[in-house]
A and B are shown apart, each in its own frame.
Chain A
Amino acid sequence: GNSVTQMEGPVTLSEEAFLTINCTYTATGYPSLFWYVQYPGEGLQLLLKATKADDKGSNKGFEATYRKETTSFHLEKGSVQVSDSAVYFCALGGTSYGKLTFGQGTILTVHP
C-alpha cells in the first residue's frame, strides 16, 4: 500500500536559517504529492503540490521537487521566519482517487 515517511521532529531553527524537511514515499502508479501546513490553532492548509515527476511546487518561499528516482518530495525554504512555526505534513494522493496518505508531521519552531 501507499505510505509516506517524514523526517521526525521537532525542528528548531533561528530566524533566517535554511529549512529542509525530508519526505519519502512508497506508492504504486503515479501519485500526486503535497505539503500541508497546520498553524497553531488553525486547520490544515495546502502549502504546495506537484502532480508529476520533476514538477516543482512552490508557495510562500517554500519549494519541493517531485523526485521519482529517489521517491522523495523534500520541503525547503531558504530563510525561515517566526511566522513559519507550524506543523508540516507531507501527503500522497491520487493513485486511484483522492484519498490522501499523510506522513506523521514535523513540528517546526522558529525563534527570533
Chain B
Amino acid sequence: GAGVSQSPSNKVTEKGKDVELRCDPISGHTALYWYRQSLGQGLEFLIYFQGNSAPDKSGLPSDRFSAERTGGSVSTLTIQRTQQEDSAVYLCASSHSSAGRVTYEQYFGPGTRLTVT
C-alpha cells in the first residue's frame, strides 16, 4: 500500500516568508509525528498527534511553528516568518495505535527539504 507522502519535496523561500508543509500519513494510522533533521541538531521531535487528543507540541522550537491535523488524517506544518536557522529537512511519520497504546513502529515519509535564503 501507499506509504507516508510529503509535499513539496523541496521548498526554497526567502527569509520572513511563511511556508506550509504537508503530510499524508498511511491510511488507518492514528498517530502522526513531525521531526526535523538538520546538520547541527540531528533528528529532533517537533509535534505529535494521536487521534482526537490534544497534540503534544513540546518539541516546537518557537511560536513561529504550528501544525494541525484535519479529520485525523492529513497534517500541515506551518512556519511563519521563516529564518535561516529553519533550513532543514522536515520529516513526517505515522504509526498505528491499539487500545490507546502506540505501537511505536513509525513509518517515515521522504521529507521536505526547506531552504531559507
Contacts and interface: CB of A to CB of B under 8 A. Distances in A.
A42 B105 contact: no
B26 interface: no
B31 interface: yes
A109 to B, nearest CB: 18
A23 B8 CA distance: 33
A54 to B, nearest CB: 18
Given A93-B104, A105-B42, A105-B43, A99 B33 contact: yes
B105 A46 contact: yes
Contacts of A94: 102, 104
Question: Chain A binding site: helix, strand, loop or mixed by DSSP?
Answer: strand
Size bracket, chain B contacts: 20 to 34
A20 interface: no
Contacts of B95: 98
Given A43-B91, A97-B50, A99-B56, A104 B42 contact: yes
Question: Chain B binding site: helix, strand, loop or mixed by DSSP?
Answer: strand
Contacts, number: 58
A99 B107 contact: no
Nearest to B108: A44
B109 interface: yes
Nearest to A46: B105
Interface in A64-112: 89, 91, 93-94, 97-105
B108 A32 contact: no
A45 interface: yes
A83 B34 CA distance: 28
21 contacts: A32-B104, A44-B91, A45-B108, A46-B105, A49-B105, A89-B43, A93-B104, A94-B104, A97-B50, A97-B56, A98-B31, A98-B48, A98-B97, A98-B103, A98-B104, A99-B45, A99-B56, A100-B45, A100-B104, A101-B45, A105-B43
Given A46-B106, A97-B56, 5 more contacts: A49-B104, A97-B102, A100-B33, A102-B35, A104-B42
